[in-house]
Amino acid sequence: MRHLITTKDFNKDEILELFKDTKEFLDEKPRTLLEGKSVTTIFFENSTRTLSSFESAAQRLGAKVLRLDTSRSSLRKGETLYDTAMILDSMSPNAIIVRHAYSGVPHILAKHMHCPVLNGGDGKHAHPTQALLDLFTIWTHFKGKIKDKIILIVGDIKNSRVAASNIELLNRFGLKIILVAPPHFMPHSNLEKSYKLDDKLIDKADIIMSLRTQTERHNKSIYASLKDYANDFCIQSNLIKNKKLILLHPGPVNRNTDISDEMMSDKRTLVLQQVKNGVAIRMAVLKKLILEN
């Protein structure tokens, strides 16, 4: 049984195949490829875009969606993850999408399930469909010529599962990654690092990926105020000027902390395109895992 727990679960050829389907699915037409199938979503952590993106993707392919209400889930009443997995499995879904604040939960569930498990984000560990949609957005923008493109990943990299998945995937596709963050947000890594965001760096960049400060994953407030952080790392027009590049963000965007209002409405900012691409890539992934398994 194949699952999608981390980006490593798909090889390069498989990802390029997924991109072919993704392009077709961008027409947003309803399909019947997954008619008669059922997809379960179980999100133990808040989400708007990832949950609705997966659910729209499943519905656009003709599948039925069962959303499990985690606020009333028995896990909160002390049920073990193993028992939850067994219960979910006995309902015989064709795929299950899980998000959890703890790293490793999708992997544990996958060991006990008879259907593909898709990771919708686990702790600081991985968020594979987000990285796939980011890569797809970059890949379409540069018409497939992405090798050696320079990407700045800016923000709370250490606590970001989006960064972790993107680092693996973008590296594999030959992009040059530069990590840009204050010391306490910088992970241990062999990649090039910068502790400040300046003109020199912007000049080099083809892509900037800004990340949200993951306050819910900090034990204590590290930056005295987000304003201090924003002064140094917010993506603003006076920094970007008329440089030819694209700006990505997985959302939710903290306006004027991660990206300024002005840059949010700039043509180079592809946040809404990322959301659109997200539904299409999740359709491609669901199709692959449900029909090929």
Please enumerate, by residue number, every residue annotated as part of a binding site for L-aspartate: 77, 161, 212
119 binding ligand NCD? (CB under 6 A): no
The residue from 15, 18, 132, 162 that contacts ligand NCD (CB under 6 A) is: 162
Q: Measure the CA–CA gap between 133 and 275, rounded to whole angstroms.
A: 8
110 Cβ neighbours under 8 A, 6+ residues apart: 1, 3, 5, 117
248 binding ligand NCD? (CB under 6 A): no
Q: What is the DSSP string of 235-264?
A: B-HHHHTT---EEE--S---BTTTB-HHHH
Q: Measure the CA–CA gap between 250 and 127, rounded to whole angstroms.
A: 10
| Smaller CB separation from ligand NCD, 93 or 123 | 123
The residue from 251, 279, 281, 287 that contacts ligand NCD (CB under 6 A) is: 251
Binding residues: 49-50, 77, 99, 127, 130, 161, 212, 251-252
Q: How would you write 190-220 as a 3-class SS string?
A: CCEEECCCCHHHHHHCCEEEECCCCHHHCCC
50 binding ligand NCD? (CB under 6 A): yes
| Smaller CB separation from ligand NCD, 52 or 62 | 52
152 binding ligand NCD? (CB under 6 A): no
Smallest gap from Cβ 226 to ligand NCD, in A, equals 14
250 binding ligand NCD? (CB under 6 A): yes
Which residue in 251, 249, 254 sits closest to 268, CA to CA? 249
Q: Measure the CA–CA gap between 19 and 285, rounded to whole angstroms.
A: 10
Binding site for ligand NCD (CB under 6 A): 49-50, 121, 127, 130, 161-162, 212, 250-251
